[in-house]
Chains A and B, each alone.
Chain A
Amino acid sequence: MLGVIVAVWYLAAILMNAAWERDQAARAGQTVGWAEIVPATMVQDRPVLPAPHQVVGALWDGLAGQAVTSKRSLVWHGWVTLRATAVGFAFGTGFGIVLAILIVQFRVMDMAVMPWAIASQTIPIVAIAPMIVVVFGRFGITGMLPKALLAAYLTFFPVVVGMVKGLRAPDAMQLDLMRTWNGGAFATIWKLRLPASLPYLFASLKVGVAAAVVGTVVTEVSQPTAGLGARLLTGSYYGQTLQIWAALFVAAGLAAGLVALVGLAERVVLRRVGA
């Protein structure tokens, strides 16, 4: 499967980059055949579509070829993105769980807030990224905070919706049992509702962490000083396609890694609670 993708990619790279080579040759007053074009399309500086080995080369150079503190290092930019994502994700998850508990405990909260939480899922929230950067910038706050805020915001809603479902998962019989044992509201939440909600929580966390990465990266596009989103924007400004593709792959790897991490935590935790 992977082999097919790479083969198609090489073919596409040749076809899409060929126009530029022909153009160059025409300007030099020469004619070129495929024999000259094909190798040339593999090594362009600013290819329309870089060949896979060029992307791998750019990735290797960015990840291993630079000092990790260098502004040209993808490790450094990836770390900037990862830090903001992680902080935002943690806060978004925390607030989401608290709000979900309030919603399950209080009917007013449920009826007043829940429709808004659900409706917010249909809204392109990342659109507020440039505004958050501008408003925080006015207060002289740049760097991690605006990014983490948007990441938290994007994590928050899936966690609320998933956790409300999860906290309501125990059936009437189990709730009755808690009452029979004279378990108060706190005991019911801590010993019954929260453990029962764990599978729902982890399902939401996987969605949330992927959304948090998107939020951070998009905010970095509006605040292009550091991070993978900044690499995407500067790459697109200066036509550095290799830089864009390398940043894109690191961002994809980061998101996949974080989702895998949540999946790992899920397996460990669910085994511990015996689910």
Chain B
Amino acid sequence: MIWIVAALLVWVGFWTLNVALIARGGTARWVRIAVPALFGVALLVLWEGLVRGLDVSAVFVPAPSEIGSKFAASLPMLWGDFVQTVLKGALSGYVIGCGAAILTAIAIDRFIFLRQGLLPIGSFVAALPVVGMAPIMVMWFGFDWQSKAAVVVVMVFFPVLVNAVAGLGASDRMQRDLMATYGASWGQSLIRLRLPAAMPFIFNGLKIATTLALIGAIVAEFFGSPTSGVGFRIQASGGKFQLALTWAEIAVAALSGLAFYGIVAWVEARLTFWHPSQRGRD
């Protein structure tokens, strides 16, 4: 009981603190970071207090402290799973899939007849549960990371393709006319004008694809994998009711997702610093 009361008090306290922070600090940068951070901490405290106070068994919901200590205790294993799923499966598939999509987009741009009917197909495919291809890929490419990479390739291809094709059409008439006036060849115009102009669109696709890549790599492991990997461990530890480990792996997946997206967004900010959406930020 004491735990529940304490947790609720902490919750109310943090909430009051947040209200005070916003009243005082307004929208200053540190307030905008502190407020969600405090909210996150308050949630964890509430979770911990409720689990302890209500005496919830760890086979239902483990307390955050238990998940944390499990995380710290199994770092080598978590790292191995991260390498297997994120670096080998998701990342290699992401690079191949996005690379293929961008090259295809350039080919489509070169041979305009292919563009007819591509966008409807692209947005149609984007709505399909492409991740269902996973069992087929596992059959074709085996249990190891190659099949996961194959699922990822299929999943990221269309979103990136559609965005890249849209981007390559983004430079305006006047700019293209100027390139023509300079006597620029198709290749020069592509490198100097069209690709840079397409970058904001391409990065939009690349950012969507980061999450899809992780989903593909993890779900494909549900259909069979060697004895490592984030998806494998989530499934196996869940089956053995080692939920602290399951949560630790979920934390790995979440952190990987954030980091992956963050890196791509960072590269975007470096490469498209000229774009209005990137300017005027401190």
Seen from chain A, the residues whose Cβ lies within 8 Å of a Cβ on chain B are 1, 48, 107-108, 111-116, 119, 121-124, 126-131, 133-135, 138-139, 206, 210, 213-214, 217-218, 221-222, 228-229, 232-233, 235-236, 239, 241, 244-245, 247-248, 251-252, 255-256, 259
Contact, CB under 8 Å: A138 / B59: yes
Q: Which of B134-185 contact A (CB under 8 A)?
A: 134-136, 138-140
The secondary structure that dominates the B interface is helix
Contact, CB under 8 Å: A134 / B239: yes
A138-B59, A255-B129 as given contacts; A124 in contact with B224, CB under 8 Å:
no
The secondary structure that dominates the A interface is helix
Contact, CB under 8 Å: B32 / A111: yes
Other than the given A232-B135, A252-B128, 10 more pairs (CB < 8 A) read A122-B257, A123-B257, A124-B254, A131-B234, A131-B246, A210-B128, A221-B222, A236-B223, A252-B132, A255-B128
- Closest-by-CB residue of B relative to A46 is B139
- In the complex, A236→B134 CA distance in Å? 9
A-contact bits for B244-268, CB 8 A (1 contact / 0 none): 0011011001100110111000000
B210 within 8 A of A: yes
- In the complex, A139→B214 CA distance in Å? 30
A-B Cβ contacts below 8 A, count:
151
A112-B39, A210-B127 as given contacts; A135 in contact with B139, CB under 8 Å:
no
Contact, CB under 8 Å: A115 / B218: no
Contact, CB under 8 Å: A233 / B223: yes
Contact, CB under 8 Å: A259 / B127: yes
Which chain B residues lie closer than 8 Å to A213 at the CB level?
129
**Nearest-Cβ distance from residue A113 to partner chain B, whole angstroms:** 7
Which chain B residues lie closer than 8 Å to A115 at the CB level?
32, 36
Q: Which of B40, B140, B257 has the most CB of A within 10 A?
A: B257
Contact, CB under 8 Å: A113 / B39: yes
A214-B131, A251-B129 as given contacts; A131 in contact with B238, CB under 8 Å:
yes
18 contacts between A and B (CB under 8 A): A111-B22, A111-B32, A113-B36, A123-B211, A124-B218, A127-B230, A131-B246, A138-B59, A138-B60, A139-B60, A218-B131, A228-B132, A232-B132, A233-B135, A241-B139, A248-B133, A255-B128, A256-B127
How many chain B residues sit at the interface, stated as a range, is: 35 or more
From A206, A210, A236, B135 is in contact (CB under 8 Å) with: A236
Contact, CB under 8 Å: B39 / A133: no
B107 within 8 A of A: no
B75 within 8 A of A: no
**Nearest-Cβ distance from residue B38 to partner chain A, whole angstroms:** 7
- In the complex, A115→B60 CA distance in Å? 28
A108-B19, A113-B39, A236-B223 as given contacts; A119 in contact with B258, CB under 8 Å:
yes
From A1, A127, A228, A251, B234 is in contact (CB under 8 Å) with: A127
A111-B36, A131-B238 as given contacts; A245 in contact with B258, CB under 8 Å:
no
- In the complex, A202→B235 CA distance in Å? 34
B124 within 8 A of A: yes
A-contact bits for B24-61, CB 8 A (1 contact / 0 none): 00000001100110111000000000000000000111
B189 within 8 A of A: no
Contact, CB under 8 Å: B238 / A112: no
Contact, CB under 8 Å: A217 / B22: no
- Closest-by-CB residue of A relative to B117 is A1
Which chain B residues lie closer than 8 Å to A236 at the CB level?
135, 138-139, 223-224
B4 within 8 A of A: no
Which chain B residues lie closer than 8 Å to A133 at the CB level?
238
Contact, CB under 8 Å: B129 / A122: no
A126-B215, A130-B238 as given contacts; A112 in contact with B135, CB under 8 Å:
no
